[in-house]
Chains A and B, each alone.
Chain A
Amino acid sequence: MSFTSPAFHIDRISVVGEEAEFVKMFDPRPVGAGPALPERIDVTTLPIQLGANPRANPVPEVMQALGLGIPGRPHTRDMDLLNGLALPTWDGAKILNFMTIRDKDFGLGGTYPGPIIRIPRGVIVHADLSGKGPPPHTIHWHGLEPTPINDGVGHCSMEIGSYTYQFQPNFIGSYFYHCHRNTVQHFEFGLFSLLLIEPPDAYFASIGAINPDGTVTLNSIPVGACLDGRFRTAANLLTLPASIQAKFPGFIAGDPVFGVAGPNDVGVGHPHAFTVPYDVEVLWVPDDRDSRWSDLASDAFATFPVHGLTPGADDDFQANPAIQNFFAFNDYRADYWFITGLPVPTPPGGTGTIPPGIVIPPGGNSGRSGSQVSVNARVGQTIFLRCLDAAYNNIRVTLPVDAVITAWDGRALGVPPFNRYNHAYVAPANTPMTFSVARRFDALIKAETTMNTFAKVEFMDTRGNAVTATALIPFQISP
């Protein structure tokens, strides 16, 4: 018995009778101008009014009122994919190629990461997506769960062309969106950003008046805050010790059995049911890049297979219409690292610190001001931290303060009814939390004493678990 004389041969399973399924798996084909949206709701005629069901997404109009742009179609986000971007590395040694998402109505050019999308819970979302440059692409709203055609996975439905995605976010929390075509390459090359579902009255709360032409006039409530003027997010603090609950005043509970609904699941309860207010929002998106892939496989067609005349028999899995002989998407070796688009200045194996005082501008943040990357809060404030692992590495996050973990993956812990089986918990200061690609946690932190220190994000190789780089993020609490 050996490699040269094995006892058995195991055949590949036949695809006869399933040729279409088989081919679609690796060759879904873009559909040009794009399919019609089935079960289409005409959002242009829906009111942007809290309490109306259904109601449209008010964010484009609120962004327009901020002077950030003009929506091409009412209540609709309009983006395109594959805007090339070349950024030098921190050490000047390389130029990294990015593929980016462009917010057509509200941004110039593409950014890395793409525009942060925020949506109040319960509105009907329409997002027009089109490919730019070579198709195909899709957008997957990671963690949101609509019908398959709106889920944005090529082989399960189709690839764009162009298409209007339709869904209604039903759970407040932290998600992201990314291209789901050749994801191994396109997610790596930057076709993604955060997707944040806000309380149902966010954005609506900032609208003072709706004008006859459909534009809106803003009031004094900060964009993204709720009707009480506070920024809020989903949580259930009731299972925590009273001493910890007391650190986060303003928490509003809801129906103990039915959660955000009223008693016996009738109607909808308080819009702030099972939410907690916070003062400072912090967004961490640890990411990494393999410059070999950037150098050798920057063409969006790299390693696309082609179906043959007899599917299952002569499909061309060696085809590489883009670049000859690159077939190494199985072998990822990060050598550059980022936190929310900021380079971590370190060679492999070392430690780099990102600058203090980094704040995300409202144009790329759905009109929201003041979201931080490096932490800069005052004693007494509540910090709300969202962290997405967008690296092809595991990450190990160590915070210098106690944090209450309120949610994973857009599902607030302990919120009834669906999530009454679990509970929020305290992650003690200086205790590492390790988690894998695409996972998100949300955490509440009370700034209790002055600090001038760092949080630590270590990137760990999925092959062997070695730490490949360490990022330090300034963590400053002033009096």
Chain B
Amino acid sequence: MKEVSRRKFMKYSLGSMAALAVGSGLDWIKNEAIAAPRVNTLNFHITDAIKDMGTHNSINTAQCYFWVYKEDRLPAESPGPTIFATEGDVIRINITNDLDEPHAFFIPGMFNSGPIAPGQTVRKFFTAKNAGPHLYFDNLNQPVNRAMGLHGAIIVHPKAPAPGHKFTPYGKPTPAVQQLFDDFGSTAWWPGLAWEQGDPATNTPPFRRHIWLFHQASPTLFAAVGNFTPGLDFPSGQFVQRFLHDDFSPTNNENIQGEVGSDIPRYFTISGQSGHFSHNTPYINPTFRVGEPAVVHILNAGLMTISMHVHANHFFVTYFNGVVQENPIWVDVFNVYPMAIIDYTLPYMRPPDVPNVRGIGRADAGLPAGVSGGTTWPPNEEIRTFMPGPAPAGVTPFQIVGNLTDGAGNSLGVQLSPLCYPAHDHSEPTQTSQGGNYNMGLIAGMNFIGDRNTPGAMNFPNQPLIHGPGPGSPFGVDGLIFPTAVQPPWFQEG
């Protein structure tokens, strides 16, 4: 029997999960959380691609046509690569329009290429400012060009924290948000690391952040745009009407040819991926220990409202559409309107409703429990549970439930470690692909690979090699773009 161990995380290297760091850089950018190569100039082509979506395979065509911002050194993908910069950096950018109608590259409050004619190249530069998350997109023929895939995230890191304070992701944090980031790692209730603090001994990067860039794709409508008269803009009013309100069809599982079904979106993505491909990758899914707070930058490039819910930890809403929050509420779900940019700050506390001594939401000692002589935390019996199939050889399970195998008899059992939680849109129609296939839609997660605050629990089994947001590919591309990930000494498998 082949051993299929959990979460090898080897292949999530390409395209939308790729990142580029520009400009002078500071210490923050030299960490593995970013792991992005430094570039002096961004070279983009505005072009197009056919993409195999999450449910595509040899017997099922699930494709969609996109317009893409392709950086010369990275594979084609929508969204474009995440760009990391530091406040004050001067970024040179060359953009060539390979499509048939005018296009642009626009960052609100920061940069506007203006219309770029078909075949034309513009060479410009701009200064990174307004520390925080930003969306770059094509602002022509709104919202068609953006919705067709011409968008990406640019994250501007502050140059320095306020004197006497710790870093936040912002240049001008409110007192409440500054207090939160000052408290991480230095108060009795947020033990562990500060956000700005890493730990080489555990391969934990400082400035832990992930990007969840939402998009919704209609294969039939995007094909219609791709087939439209060359040189003419597709009518934006018609696009919006068909995207949001096209006639109901009971069947939307047809392929890209678009002969059947409604123009309502059928693919719902986070950073270009969905289902397994967004949920089970540490480039998208925060994968840290208790005591390692992280920030998720959420951007919605689509046209639908998303209600993004995180399991395992309530998060602080620290940033909303350009405004650092005066009253950062602590919630488990929040509304993400079209074009919204919102930060979820995850404290990475122990999931607080695990039974413990006082039952008041503290990381108290666990209660005696189970048949193995342990306590409720860390949940060692749960961690040694496999389902829905057998454990690989050499692992002593607490229990095995189910006997699911593939056609070759390989076990499809999964170990319940690291601790896996989902994060998903609670406006559930986006949890689908091709009109059904639940859980192949807009879903990320929040994983725990250990607990730095409980002695002996630093590392749960099956930790991934890397932390997001990519690339950090072990394979590399050109040897220049992707540094080779070195297996850290604490890596355990099985």
Residues of chain A with a CB closer than 8 A to B408's CB: 309-310
- Could you say which of A20-28, A60-68, A87-95 contacts chain B? A20-28
- Beta-carbon contacts under 8 Å, A1-33 to B: 1-4, 6-26, 28-29, 31-32
Contact between A329 and B438 (Cβ–Cβ < 8 Å)?
yes
Whole-angstrom distance between the Cβ of B66 and the nearest chain A Cβ: 8
Given contacts A155-B279, A157-B387, A325-B251, 13 further A-B contacts (CB under 8 A): A7-B98, A32-B402, A146-B353, A170-B359, A310-B406, A317-B57, A328-B249, A328-B252, A329-B428, A332-B429, A436-B334, A438-B309, A463-B305
- Beta-carbon contacts under 8 Å, A394-439 to B: 394, 408-411, 413, 417-423, 425, 434-439
**Which of these, B180, B316, B358, B381, contacts A39 with CB under 8 Å?**
B381
0/1 interface trace, chain B 50-93, chain A, CB 8 Å (1 if under): 11111111111010011010100001111000000000000000
Whole-angstrom distance between the Cβ of B417 and the nearest chain A Cβ: 9
Contact between A8 and B352 (Cβ–Cβ < 8 Å)?
no
Residues of chain B with a CB closer than 8 A to A40's CB: 369-371
**Which of these, A32, A148, A307, A312, contacts B416 with CB under 8 Å?**
A148
Name the interface size band of chain A: 35 or more
Tell me how many residues of B have a C-beta within 8 Å of chain A.
154
- Work out how many contacts link A and B, with CB atoms closer than 8 A: 459
| Cα(A438)–Cα(B385), bound, Å | 30
**Which of these, B70, B311, B369, B439, contacts A25 with CB under 8 Å?**
B439
Contact between B329 and A292 (Cβ–Cβ < 8 Å)?
no
A118 contacts chain B at the CB level, 8 A cutoff: no
B314 contacts chain A at the CB level, 8 A cutoff: yes
B321 contacts chain A at the CB level, 8 A cutoff: no
B276 contacts chain A at the CB level, 8 A cutoff: yes
B414 contacts chain A at the CB level, 8 A cutoff: yes
0/1 interface trace, chain B 438-473, chain A, CB 8 Å (1 if under): 111000010000000000000000000000000000
- Beta-carbon contacts under 8 Å, A244-260 to B: 258-260
Whole-angstrom distance between the Cβ of A405 and the nearest chain B Cβ: 9
| Cα(A408)–Cα(B412), bound, Å | 39
- Beta-carbon contacts under 8 Å, A88-134 to B: 121-124
Closest to B100 in A: A1
Residues of chain B with a CB closer than 8 A to A331's CB: 248-249, 252, 262, 264, 429, 435
Residues of chain B with a CB closer than 8 A to A158's CB: 387-388, 401-402
Closest to B68 in A: A8
Asked, given contacts A7-B76, A311-B406, whether A184 binds B438 with beta carbons under 8 Å apart, the answer is yes
Contact between A421 and B328 (Cβ–Cβ < 8 Å)?
yes
A182 contacts chain B at the CB level, 8 A cutoff: yes
Residues of chain B with a CB closer than 8 A to A320's CB: 436
Residues of chain A with a CB closer than 8 A to B385's CB: 35, 38, 149
Whole-angstrom distance between the Cβ of B361 and the nearest chain A Cβ: 4
Contact between B329 and A408 (Cβ–Cβ < 8 Å)?
yes
Please report A residues at the B interface, Cβ cutoff 8 Å.
Answer: 1-4, 6-26, 28-29, 31-32, 34-36, 38-41, 53-54, 121-124, 140-149, 151, 153-158, 166-171, 181-185, 187-188, 200, 258-261, 265, 267-268, 292, 296, 302-305, 307-318, 320, 325-333, 392, 394, 408-411, 413, 417-423, 425, 434-439, 462-465
Closest to B312 in A: A145
| Cα(A445)–Cα(B48), bound, Å | 55
B41 contacts chain A at the CB level, 8 A cutoff: no
Contact between B176 and A422 (Cβ–Cβ < 8 Å)?
yes
Closest to A175 in B: B332
B410 contacts chain A at the CB level, 8 A cutoff: yes
**Which of these, A13, A22, A463, contacts B273 with CB under 8 Å?**
A13
Contact between A153 and B421 (Cβ–Cβ < 8 Å)?
yes
Contact between A463 and B436 (Cβ–Cβ < 8 Å)?
no
